[in-house]
Amino acid sequence: MTRHRLAISSDLAAIAALAKAGTPYPWSEHQYRGSLEAGHAVWLAEDETGLLAVAVILNAAGEAELLDIVVSPACRRAGLATCLLQQVIQHLKQAGATRMLLEVRQSNAPAQALYAHLGFRSCGVRKQYYPSANGLREDAILMEKQLG
pLDDT tens for residues 73-105?
999 888 999 999 999 999 999 999 999 999 999
Q: Tell me the average pLDDT of the chain.
A: 96
Per-residue pLDDT band for 133 (boundaries 50, 70, 90) equals: confident
**Among 65, 103, 130, 138, the one annotated catalytic:** 103
Catalytic residue check, 103:
yes
Average pLDDT, integer, range 130-147: 93
6 bridge partner residues: 43
pLDDT, residue 109, reads: 95
What is the per-residue burial (b if ≥16 Cβ within 10 Å, else e) of 2-20?
bebeebeeebbebbbebbe
Q: What are phi and psi of 36, to 5 degrees?
A: -60, -45
The mean per-residue pLDDT over the stretch 24-45 comes to: 97
% helix, strand, coil for the chain, step of 5: 35, 40, 25
HSE value, Cβ hemisphere, 13 Å, CA-based, for 66: 24
Say yes or no to pLDDT of 135 above 90.
no
Domains of the chain listed by start with CATH number: 3-146 (3.40.630.30)
Burial class (CB in 10 A: 0-12, 13-18, 19+), 45: buried
> What region does 75 belong to: left with phi over 0, alpha with psi -120 to 50, or beta?
alpha
> With bands split at pLDDT 50, 70 and 90, how would you rate the model's confidence at 58?
very high
Q: pLDDT band for position 134 (50/70/90)?
A: confident
The phi and psi torsions of 48 (rounded to 5 degrees) equal -65, -20
* Per-residue pLDDT band at 148 (split at 50, 70, 90): confident
The structure's pTM equals 0.94
